[in-house]
Amino acid sequence: MNYLYVDKEPLLKEAIEHLSKGDIWFIDTETTPRSIRLFQVALEKGPVYVVDFWFVKEAPKFIKDAIVKKGIVGHNLKYDLKYLMKYDIHPYTTFDTMIGAQLIGLNRVSLASVYNYFTGEPLDKKEQFSNWSSKELTQSQISYAAKDVEVLRLLYEKLKKELDKEPIPIDILRKSRVAKVFGLESPYAIIEMGFVQELAKIEHTGIGIDTKEIELAKKDLQKKTQELAMNFYIKYRIDISSPKKLGEFLERHMGLTLPRTEKENIITDDSVLVEYTESKNPKIVDVVNSVLEFRKLHKLQEKLTEILEHKEEDRIYPEFWQIGAITGRMSSSRPNVQNIPRELRGILKAKEGHVFVIADFSQIELRIAADYVKDELMISVINKGEDLHRFTASLITGKPVENISKEERQMAKAANFGLIYGISERSLSLYAKNSYGVDMSLEDAKRFREVFFSTFQGIKAWHEKIKKELKAKGEVRLKTIGGKPMVAYSFTDAANYPIQGTGAELLKLSVLIFSQELKRYFKDHDVANVVNLIHDEIVVEAKKEYQEEVSKLLKSAMEKAGSMLLKDVKVETEVSINDRWTK
């Protein structure tokens, strides 16, 4: 293996001169908790340069000036990018071999695992957790650092071929930085690779919190849960927090027959208990409502505790998993900022002199479904600007659209969002109650299903096609609108994957476009930053004096992304501005 250890400025200048000849840099870093120790870099051919930041103090400046025009390839690049951002180092564009491995369906995506997948050989990682703070590094450490970059060159070529096997042409994406530098053609791969740097920025920026308000809310919730638990115990002599005791009480004293696990344990999940909230026995209703309220308050308390555990001064820096599910949807942790209940969102606060610009796609899953399956009626209703939920409610009730009540619209909303995925009558009834707060009897759910599928023939035909293929082959091979391939082994997954997967592509593409528009519009790159993403919603922290311009840019970026992916359906967004994460 050909590598050079760079510990003096003249050696660095020679390295930069050589590296400037290539458009793509293969990079890796070895770090201490607060800084980069080694920066390893190579072109597609030639030596690997192992630059020691501790000995070459000018290294960050030289690298910053050179890398701004380069595409970089790395493994788990988000990690390296966040360290590089500490030195204000930003590459032109990115290709992450870990993301590439996930996109081709690998379950184990460490560098060693992906290398083994393509070569059948092991990769020695013993030095990974060695002492990188030592003044003098060993030859073994330096060689190990160089090897990781050498491996990247091989993985990059292999993954590029896999990702571009069956590209779906979206010409405008081929003009993107990722496509131009790395030659990628598949839209989903272009989007995901470009998004790596944006996600690193989001994590690096973090999001503000109101610590005092969180602590007050936590105390209030503790008081409420303690009072509720005490009153429940006085009334019924059981521990409200014990599912086992609760199940026994409901069966022995309330006469209920509850479902059981394989080990014969009584199930008292919320989905089971919610069915008894309309019982004719007031005692059952009181017990069930008390338990559900206690659990809700307890979950709110746990969420506040989680946020406080991860705060740094008055800000949190959550970690996002770019491909957190097979669909391509993201997930978040430490803390999870994608599942903060609406009643707690106000605890997230823009920093002084800033506001949150909050934008979400309107009815995006329905719009994607209509475009994906080419349901002509649904497309027509959406594009005319009609309220699809009122339209569906009107079909079921026989009433004119203008006479539909709020409750009837909510029932239709549950039906529309549930039935595009083919949920059963029973599931629809529970979904309406749990997600929209409306009571839908099984008879009503049956009627909604019948009318929905007799009306929206494109959705019905798509579901029938899925079922037929599953019956014949035991699996269904699908693609998102961006071309991401997926395999489903159940009807539920087959109906869900391409819709939610396309939604994930749309969100990420929106962020990419918004980021580019910000750079074009403002010379000051610190005018606005994306700080949170939740499936169909983007939260941006912007300087107050630029809130209107940022709002217009964000709305435009999201709708432009929609027009690039959805060819037959209009995409609409709703934007609000607040100093808290509330609408």
pLDDT of residue 435: 87
pLDDT of residue 551: 98
pLDDT of residue 238: 95
Kindly state the average pLDDT of the residues 436-446: 90
The DSSP string of 89-137 is ---SEEEEHHHHHHHTT-S--SHHHHHHHHHS-----GGGGS-TT-SS-
- Tokens representing 378 are 């649904």
Q: Is residue 355 assigned to a domain?
A: yes
pLDDT of residue 172: 78
For residue 461, count other CB atoms closer than 10 A to its CB: 14
Q: Is residue 520 assigned to a domain?
A: yes
pLDDT of residue 17: 97
Final residue belonging to a domain, choices 131, 146, 163 = 163
* 16 and 70 co-located in one domain: yes
Kindly state the average pLDDT of the residues 228-234: 98
Could you give the CA distance from residue 219 to residue 221 in angstroms, rounded to a whole number?
5
pLDDT of residue 430: 86
* 299 and 268 co-located in one domain: yes
Q: Contact, 335 vs 347, CB < 8 A?
A: no
pLDDT in tens, 180-192: 999 999 999 999 9
pLDDT band at 88 (very low <50, low <70, confident <90, very high): very high
pLDDT band at 171 (very low <50, low <70, confident <90, very high): confident
Domain count, the chain: 4
pTM: 0.95
Which domain does 271 fall in, by range? 211-313
Final residue belonging to a domain, choices 455, 470, 486 = 455
Query: Nearest 5 degrees, angle CA 509-CA 575-CA 508?
Result: 10
pLDDT of residue 554: 99
Is residue 480 over pLDDT 80?
yes
* CATH code assigned at 280: 1.20.1060.10
Is residue 476 over pLDDT 90?
yes
- Tokens representing 125 are 């990682």
* 126 and 149 co-located in one domain: yes
pLDDT of residue 283: 95
Could you give the CA distance from residue 75 to residue 57 in angstroms, rounded to a whole number?
25
Kindly state the average pLDDT of the residues 377-387: 96
Q: Is residue 109 assigned to a domain?
A: yes
Final residue belonging to a domain, choices 163, 197, 222 = 163
On average, the pLDDT of the chain sits at 96
* 409 and 387 co-located in one domain: yes
pLDDT in tens, 544-564: 999 999 999 999 999 999 999
pLDDT band at 41 (very low <50, low <70, confident <90, very high): very high
* 90 and 111 co-located in one domain: yes
Could you give the CA distance from residue 221 to residue 343 in angstroms, rounded to a whole number?
12
Give the residue ranges of DSSP H helices in 183-325. Answer: 187-205, 211-236, 243-252, 270-273, 282-309
DSSP three-state, residue 437 = coil
pLDDT of residue 68: 95
The sign one gets for the Cα dihedral 552, 558, 559, 563 is positive
Q: Is residue 403 assigned to a domain?
A: yes
Q: Is residue 468 assigned to a domain?
A: no
Kindly state the average pLDDT of the residues 498-524: 95
* Percent of the residues in the chain that have a pLDDT greater than 90, as a whole number: 92
* 232 and 124 co-located in one domain: no
Kindly state the average pLDDT of the residues 258-276: 91
Q: Is residue 205 assigned to a domain?
A: no
* 157 and 303 co-located in one domain: no
* 445 and 342 co-located in one domain: no
Amino acid in position 98: M
pLDDT band at 433 (very low <50, low <70, confident <90, very high): confident
* CATH code assigned at 73: 3.30.420.10
pLDDT of residue 274: 84
Q: Is residue 339 assigned to a domain?
A: yes
* 86 and 140 co-located in one domain: yes
Kindly state the average pLDDT of the residues 219-225: 98
* 349 and 400 co-located in one domain: no
pLDDT in tens, 124-147: 999 998 999 999 999 999 999 999
Q: Is residue 488 assigned to a domain?
A: no
* 434 and 513 co-located in one domain: no
Beta-strand relationship, 537-543 and 354-361: antiparallel
For residue 345, count other CB atoms closer than 10 A to its CB: 19
Kindly state the average pLDDT of the residues 142-155: 97
* 307 and 233 co-located in one domain: yes
Q: What are phi and psi of 54, to 5 degrees?
A: -75, -25
Is residue 14 over pLDDT 90?
yes
* CATH code assigned at 522: 3.30.70.370
pLDDT band at 434 (very low <50, low <70, confident <90, very high): confident
pLDDT of residue 289: 94
- Tokens representing 196 are 């790596």
Q: Nearest CA to 146 among 68, 46, 22?
A: 46
Is residue 533 over pLDDT 80?
yes
